[in-house]
Structure 1
Amino acid sequence: MAQPSVIFFDIDGTLLTDEKVLPASTKEAIFTLKCLGHTVAIATGRAPFMFKDLRRELEIDTFVSYNGQYVVLNGEVIYTNPLKMSPLVQLTEAALLNNHPVVYMDHEDMKANVPEHDYINESIGSLKINQFPTHDPLYYEGRELYQTLLFCPEGEEKQYEEAFPDFDFVRWHPVSLDVLPKGGSKANGIAKVVEKLGFPKERQYAFGDGLNDKQMLSTIENSVAMGNGEEEIKQVAKYVTKSVEEDGILHGLQMVGLLPK
């Protein structure tokens, strides 16, 4: 049997299908890992409030959320990395001039700086969650924000990348990007967890499919890209499994030797 290890799973396109369904084989594999003594964690770009039900279903209380900016170990917050407020306000002002809305996000909620916008409806709607941003243009005041969503078509983010060096911009939808603190990543958040748990690099695993998984899969020694993942992600991962709809998590865990075939 494999030595106790820690395994980090992305959510969208990795644990969940495009239709946001958790395959039965994936759920069974997660519980089998835990029965074998492994530590199972989530590493996602989502906010903590966006995957409460999934954590409850899988009985997972260790997670890296907001692409590494809000990290929880065994139910306790161990690391936060909020956005710098002054340049965020400037970014918002610039985006408004271009009819590009933003959504402010902390660990509890998300609020849009405009009452209504098609880009927000389209992209947030694709997540199929039961929460939607309401309007509060001053939500940034007096609180720490760990991520902001910027809504603009592909290619139009270049102007923001050049003007706001304090942030990283990571596209997750054709009309939406994550705005993160410069250098913030899932890999950094994972490092905070591993530092506490003490797993050596050869017993660290990560599964992902999207561009926000690139640094994670480049850094973790035993990295697995989903078959449905971006080609760029497959090139940096050590292994490539089947797609999430084809029992890709189970197949990948068997491939790396964490579960029996």
Structure 2
Amino acid sequence: MDKILEKAKAIKIIFFDIDDTLRVKTSGFMPESITQVFEKLREKGIMTGIATGRNLYGVVPEVRDLHPDFYVAINGAYVEEVKSHNILYKNTFSTPLVEEIITWLEQEKSEYAFVASDSLKVSKWDKIAKEAISPVYAELEEDPAYYQKQDIYQMLTISDHDDQLVLPEHLAQQIRLVRWHPNSSDVVPMAGSKAIGCQKVLEALDLKPENMLNFGDGLNDRELFDFAGLSVAMKISHPEILEKADYVTDTVENDGILKALQALKIID
């Protein structure tokens, strides 16, 4: 613990995942302590960021009201400085790649969703899509041709056999699947991750990974836990994330973030 406390002294920016880290995904519950945490970090001069698989449309009002300094959204594919709305980084899918993914998913009898910077559309809104997506984005409109109208940063697979989907070789060289729900996986660029997005923020601020702490719980935090100077996992995190964490804290409902930052002596 002494080594972790020493590392904590170098922290200048903290990134937070949303679902089951800042708030409970299924109920939307976010403890009052989260607002206190952000206020205390501002008083200490420590910057904050949201690092999420969601796009800006999915950054719910109570998270926006925390007034973070940065959004690292869509698993690192879109990075924005909040106050200025300056886009620090964007990584979109080409139209031919989107069409290749669609062809593959249709062959696999899987529906899909398109993720733009501040909007989403699905190929089909059915019971399977509702089970996966409603807790995060509510009901979405159907538009199988949405990629022809908007830049696409990410896609989602949607099926009742999502765990059986295997990328064909020509796609496996360009994209990868990250499961986030029994019925759905994020389809992200091979080189895409929250870590890359956070790295763009650090470069803009002339900071190093050892100046960064992150909180997370899921497999889309994997690269970030390898990258950050300090990483804190929520108690209910995926086993791989628990293994990678420098520190494991309590659940959202039990003020896990506040407890961790106090234990690390970053705030009182």
For normalisation by structure 1, the TM-score amounts to: 0.92
- After TM superposition, give the deviation of residue 182 of structure 1 in Å: 1.1
**Unaligned 5+ runs, structure 1:** none
1:115-151 CA-to-partner distances (Å, cap 9, x unmatched) read x322211111122x4x532111111114320011111
Which residue identity is paired with 2:104? Answer: A
1:148-169 CA-to-partner distances (Å, cap 9, x unmatched) read 11113342122x2645121111
Would you say the 8 A contact 1:103–1:133 is kept in 2? Answer: no
* Cross-structure match for 1:95: 105
1:134 match: secondary structure: coil
The partner residue of 1:119 within 106, 128, 149 is: 128
**Unaligned 5+ runs, structure 2:** 1-7
Between 63-72 and 73-82, the greater mean CA deviation after superposition: 73-82
Counterpart check, 1:238 vs 2:236: no
The partner residue of 2:224 within 201, 210, 216 is: 216
- How far, CA to CA, are the matches of 1:16 and 1:124 in structure 2? 16
- After TM superposition, give the deviation of residue 257 of structure 1 in Å: 2.1
Would you say the 8 A contact 1:4–1:37 is kept in 2? Answer: no
The partner residue of 2:91 within 56, 60, 81 is: 81
- After TM superposition, give the deviation of residue 85 of structure 1 in Å: 2.4
Which residue identity is paired with 2:188? Answer: L
1:245 match: secondary structure: coil
* Cross-structure match for 1:107: 117
Would you say the 8 A contact 2:162–2:185 is kept in 1? Answer: no
The partner residue of 1:64 within 34, 50, 72 is: 72
* Cross-structure match for 2:17: 10
Which residue identity is paired with 1:118? Answer: K
1:135 match: secondary structure: coil
* Cross-structure match for 1:199: 207
Task: Give the paired residue count.
Answer: 256
For normalisation by structure 2, the TM-score amounts to: 0.89
1:12-51 CA-to-partner distances (Å, cap 9, x unmatched) read 0100124221111122111111111110110000011111
Between 98-107 and 85-94, the greater mean CA deviation after superposition: 85-94
- How far, CA to CA, are the matches of 2:164 and 2:98 in structure 1? 18
Which residue identity is paired with 1:211? Answer: L
1:88-124 CA-to-partner distances (Å, cap 9, x unmatched) read 212212222333111111112111123x322211111
Taking every aligned residue pair, what percent have the same amino acid on both sides? Answer: 32
